[in-house]
């Protein structure tokens, strides 16, 4: 007897059983600076992240093109200036560019107006440099100030991918209900498994780099379960992490597995959000997004 329950018919378009979204965080050296702000003139440490711009983006774009996979690329606004050729290549390949603020600030440490300034500055850069207005947003380190979902919805954003409270999309609460969250999970992200700088140590405890073979196996086990349960699998990649000659082969094996399965709706975050907005019921009152809103609408609870 199995514990698995048949997902409801029609949760996803057509005959599809689950959704599969590839998201990319093009952070490059900003992720090094986020972990070690004093590395600003440490060229070796910065180059660990710059590898993503120098080598990883092109390799990842080629790999995604091999499968015809369109991804949602979160690009901090300042990287549009640092890596204009790469940003053009992402947009030209038909991927969905999305907003990640200006420079990977920890939004948990910012006021609402600082967050809005960072997001607006990036949005202006997308407009000027690529002639587009992204509709998706990811907080660089996940956190929002109270009120940001409402502001994002008001600015025309249709989706966000920052939280971890579900394995299906959901709406944000109250007056931000137009904003769909496409939640992501650390175990489906290349960064926690592989990021490494010796000195300054990133991660702090200098753990060994994970086994690519086992990470591939983790992703396949998760994907098979998401498919069985009819959920929304959100993969998070970083060109500076997955874009090495060896790891891109692991990604290839993973995408081969995904493509060998039937009933998988491969879509961008924006497409999933649009589907969800048009077809899904409102959040249950006990959804984490509703509970968080209820508990915090009058400030932090005692």
Partner 1 sequence: MIQQNGHAGAALWPDGNRSAVALAFDLDGPTGDAMLKGTIWSRPEYFSQGAYGPWRALDRILALLDAHQVPATFFTPAWVVQTWPEQCRRIVAHGHEVAHHGYKHEKYWDLSLDEQRQVIGTSQRIFQDVLGVTATGFRTPSGDWRPETPALLAELGFLYSSSMRGEDRPYRHHGGQLIEIPARSDMDDYASLAYTTNPDWPSGGDRIAGYEPTLDNWTREFDGYHAEGLCLATIFHPKVVGKPGRAALLDRWIRHMKDAGGVWFGTCGQIAGWWQQTQELEPTA
**Sites of contact with partner 1 (CB under 8 A):** 1-5, 106, 108, 139, 141-146, 162-167, 183, 185-187, 192-193, 202-211, 214-215, 217-218, 221-226, 228-229, 231, 286-289, 291-292, 295-296, 300-301
Q: Residue 49 or 53: which CB sits closer to partner 1?
A: 49
Q: Residue 198 or 221: which CB sits closer to partner 1?
A: 221
Alpha carbons 84 and 28: distance in angstroms, whole number:
13
Dihedral of the CA atoms 190, 93, 89, 45 (nearest 10)? 0
Q: How far is the CB of 80 from partner 1 (least distance, A)?
A: 25
Q: Residue 84 or 207: which CB sits closer to partner 1?
A: 207
Q: How far is the CB of 148 from partner 1 (least distance, A)?
A: 9
Number of other CB atoms surrounding residue 85 within 10 Å = 10
Q: How far is the CB of 262 from partner 1 (least distance, A)?
A: 18
**What are 35's two structure tokens?**
């972990």
Q: Quick one: which of 281, 51, 273 has its CA closest to 162?
A: 273
Q: Residue 211 or 253: which CB sits closer to partner 1?
A: 211
Q: How far is the CB of 31 from partner 1 (least distance, A)?
A: 12
Q: How far is the CB of 128 from partner 1 (least distance, A)?
A: 30
CA distance readout (Å), 220 to 52, 66, 254, 256, 260: 25, 19, 7, 10, 12
Helices 247-260 and 57-67: crossing angle, nearest 10°?
20
**What are 97's two structure tokens?**
């560019």
Q: Residue 175 or 211: which CB sits closer to partner 1?
A: 211
């Amino acid at each position: 007897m199995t514990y698995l329950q048949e997902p409801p018919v029609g949760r996803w378009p057509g005959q599809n059983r689950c959704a599969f979204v590839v998201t990319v965080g093009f952070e490059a050296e900003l992720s090094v600076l986020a972990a070690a702000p004093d590395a600003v003139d440490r060229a070796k440490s910065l180059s660990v992240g710059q590898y993503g711009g120098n080598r990883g983006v092109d390799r990842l774009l080629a790999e995604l093109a091999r499968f015809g996979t369109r991804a949602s690329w979160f690009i901090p606004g300042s990287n549009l200036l640092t890596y204009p050729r790469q940003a053009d290549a992402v947009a030209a390949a038909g991927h969905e560019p999305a907003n990640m603020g200006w420079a990977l600030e920890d939004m948990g440490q910012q006021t609402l107006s600082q967050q809005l300034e960072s997001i607006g500055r990036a949005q202006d850069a997308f407009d000027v440099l690529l002639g587009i207005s992204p509709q998706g947003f990811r907080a660089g380190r996940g956190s929002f100030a109270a009120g940001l979902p409402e502001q994002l919805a008001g600015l025309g954003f249709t989706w966000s991918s920052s939280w971890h409270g579900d394995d299906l999309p959901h709406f944000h609460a109250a007056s931000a209900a137009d904003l769909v969250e496409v939640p992501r999970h650390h175990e489906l992200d290349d960064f926690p498994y592989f990021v490494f700088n010796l000195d300054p140590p990133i991660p702090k405890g200098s753990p060994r780099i994970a086994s690519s073979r086992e990470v591939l196996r983790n992703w396949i086990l998760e994907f098979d379960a998401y498919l069985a349960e009819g959920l929304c699998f959100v993969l998070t990649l970083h060109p500076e992490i997955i874009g090495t000659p060896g790891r891109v082969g692991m990604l290839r094996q993973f995408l081969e597995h995904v493509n060998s399965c039937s009933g998988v709706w491969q879509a961008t975050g924006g497409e999933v959000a649009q589907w969800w907005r048009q077809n899904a019921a409102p959040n249950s009152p006990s959804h984490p997004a509703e509970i968080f809103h209820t508990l915090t609408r009058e400030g932090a609870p005692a």
